[in-house]
Amino acid sequence: MTDRRAKPASTRAVPVIAILTDFGYRDHYAGVMKGVIARVAPRVPIIDLTHGVPPQSVAAGAFVLAQSWRYFPARTIFLAVVDPGVGTARAPIAIDTRAGARFVGPDNGLLSIAARQAGVRRMVELTSRRHRLSEISSTFHGRDIFAPAAAWLARGAAIGALGRGIDRIVELALPEPSVSAARIRGEVLYVDGFGNLITNVSRKDLAHLSDSFREKPLSVRINGSAAIRIHRAYGDAPVGGALAAFGGFDLLEIALRDASAALRYHADAGASVVVSAARA
């Protein structure tokens, strides 16, 4: 007799592929990568993390990836392409981590910070001909190498099947603030689409200020600007007014209420930021 009892559904989650690029939203490049993924792994969900990384800015892409990966399901595959060296000797790589996240992209530092945070378990250079397109262009490895590799991982391929093991990649380190008892000197790491200036100063850095300073209101100066008070939220400042606040990723941001701080202060990544006690 046939057993008609329902079999329990598999509890194994389908991996997600999250894509980060500097391709922008005007052209077809990101869409073509998704098409390649759909041909190899049609049932795999795809999330656009962003395609708005500033063109060729590996550091900005690495920052966004490092800020984002931990908010995704454990076995997410991060397909990251900010690749000014495409077609050169830089290697295409994939990384498996102890946290479960997988990273696919160019070996130019883009993946290194996030992978280091997640705990590197295994790394490979993407050399397998089976797991890439048959023809490889010198300008679009996102389509020809990275997207197929991510899709094959999502289908269940072992990372070791994608290529030869490696034990070293290009490392990128974001600048750290200089903290003393009287002030914190940092810099802008990233400018978001609202013109907010996201710095490398964290809330934890304030703990290193002396008690005499931490008990006073603190202010921020960018590129030698007038003092900007630290507020709890954007809405605490008047419309058009300058403010600083700790954002959703616990880093100090300099903003204008309903306007662009980047335009007001003519500031970009690398701009100098100083936090100190506000003058009475």
* φ, ψ at 220 (rounded to 5°): -125, 140
Please give the Cα distance from 179 to 269 (Å, whole number). Answer: 19
Query: Is 113 within the bounds of a domain?
Result: yes
Q: Say if residue 153 is in the same domain as residue 267.
A: no
Strands (DSSP E) along 67-207, which ranges? 77-81, 92-97, 102-106, 120-126, 163-166, 178-179, 183-191, 197-202
Amino acid identity at 238: P
Residue 26 structure tokens:
């005007």
CB count within 10 Å of CB 14 equals: 12
Q: Say if residue 132 is in the same domain as residue 238.
A: no
* φ, ψ at 61 (rounded to 5°): -65, -40
Q: Which domain holds residue 39?
A: 17-166
Q: What is the DSSP letter of 170?
A: -
Query: Is 3 within the bounds of a domain?
Result: no
Q: What is the pLDDT of residue 196?
A: 96
> Of 166, 187, 212, which marks where a domain is finished?
166
Q: Say if residue 130 is in the same domain as residue 269.
A: no
* Between 215 and 86, residue with greater pLDDT: 86
CB count within 10 Å of CB 206 equals: 17
Overall number of domains in the chain: 2
> Of 108, 135, 166, which marks where a domain is finished?
166
> Of 166, 201, 229, which marks where a domain is finished?
166
Q: Say if residue 191 is in the same domain as residue 146.
A: no
Please give the Cα distance from 264 to 177 (Å, whole number). Answer: 23
Name the pLDDT band for 91 (thresholds 50, 70, 90).
very high
Range with the poorest average pLDDT among 52-61, 76-85, 208-217, 246-255: 208-217
Q: What is the pLDDT of residue 247?
A: 93
Q: Say if residue 188 is in the same domain as residue 252.
A: yes
- Predicted TM-score (pTM) of the model is 0.91
Q: Say if residue 262 is in the same domain as residue 147.
A: no
Strand order through the sheet with 46-50: 46-50, 17-21, 77-81, 102-106, 92-97, 120-126, 163-166
Query: Is 172 within the bounds of a domain?
Result: no
Please enumerate in sequence order all residues whose Cβ is within 8 A of that of 62, keeping only pairs 6 or more positions apart, or say none. 109, 110, 111, 112, 113, 114, 172, 174
Please give the Cα distance from 220 to 230 (Å, whole number). Answer: 7
Q: Say if residue 43 is in the same domain as residue 144.
A: yes
pLDDT in tens, 30-78: 999 999 999 999 999 999 999 999 999 999 999 999 999 999 999 999 9
- 151, with CB counted inside 10 A (0-12, 13-18, 19+), is buried
